[in-house]
């Protein structure tokens, strides 16, 4: 729990412009424990799933699945620790989650959404071969967002993770 807290605190200025959940930081240790318990309960109930991404004993970010787009679709979310930006971690997390999503019974589609102003996040689905589905107006959810949701998707029958280059060492 402490390494997660420290990673988020180190990355707070980097995350604040884009992530709505960062407004609740810093969480107390008790609140963070309760949040982790809620994530575990959600996972056991077949709802949203949250994962940590580690390189050895260092947190490099986090990722997960959201059930926002219907029963046959999972949406992927991700964030990267400020010290690990531009090293391919977000792309690798999204690649692994896409492959994992299609092992879930009845999942036929995976989506990635980002605010149009967050061009770095938008490069990830494009690099993975996701299809651009369009843009829609939404309420801005964090300080740097402009309220234009950009949607990308991948269909199960189109996903070929083996043809993608793995994260460079």
By the 8 A CB rule, do 8 and 16 touch? no
Q: Report mean pLDDT in 10-residue bins for the chain, 169 residues.
A: 90 93 91 93 92 94 93 96 96 96 95 96 95 97 94 95 47
pLDDT in tens, 134-149: 999 999 999 999 999 9
Domains (ranges, CATH) in the chain?
A: 2-163 (3.40.630.30)
Q: What is the pLDDT of residue 69?
A: 87
Q: What is the pLDDT of residue 161?
A: 66
Cα–Cα distance between 142 and 31 in angstroms, integer?
21
């Amino acid at each position: 729990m402490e390494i997660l807290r420290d990673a988020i605190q180190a990355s707070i200025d980097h995350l604040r412009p884009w992530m709505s959940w960062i407004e609740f930081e810093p969480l107390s240790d008790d609140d963070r424990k309760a949040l982790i318990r809620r994530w575990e309960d959600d996972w056991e109930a077949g709802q949203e799933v949250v994962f940590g991404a580690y390189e050895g004993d260092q947190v490099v970010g986090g990722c997960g699945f959201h059930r926002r787009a219907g029963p046959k679709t999972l949406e992927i979310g991700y964030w990267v620790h400020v010290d690990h930006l531009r090293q391919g971690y977000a792309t690798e997390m999204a690649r692994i989650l896409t492959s994992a999503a299609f092992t879930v019974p009845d999942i036929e589609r995976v989506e990635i959404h980002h605010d149009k102003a967050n061009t770095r996040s938008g490069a990830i689905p494009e690099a993975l071969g996701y299809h651009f589905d369009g843009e829609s107006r939404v309420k801005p959810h964090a300080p740097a967002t402009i309220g234009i949701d950009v949607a990308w998707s991948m269909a199960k029958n189109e996903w070929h993770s083996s043809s993608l280059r793995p994260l460079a060492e």
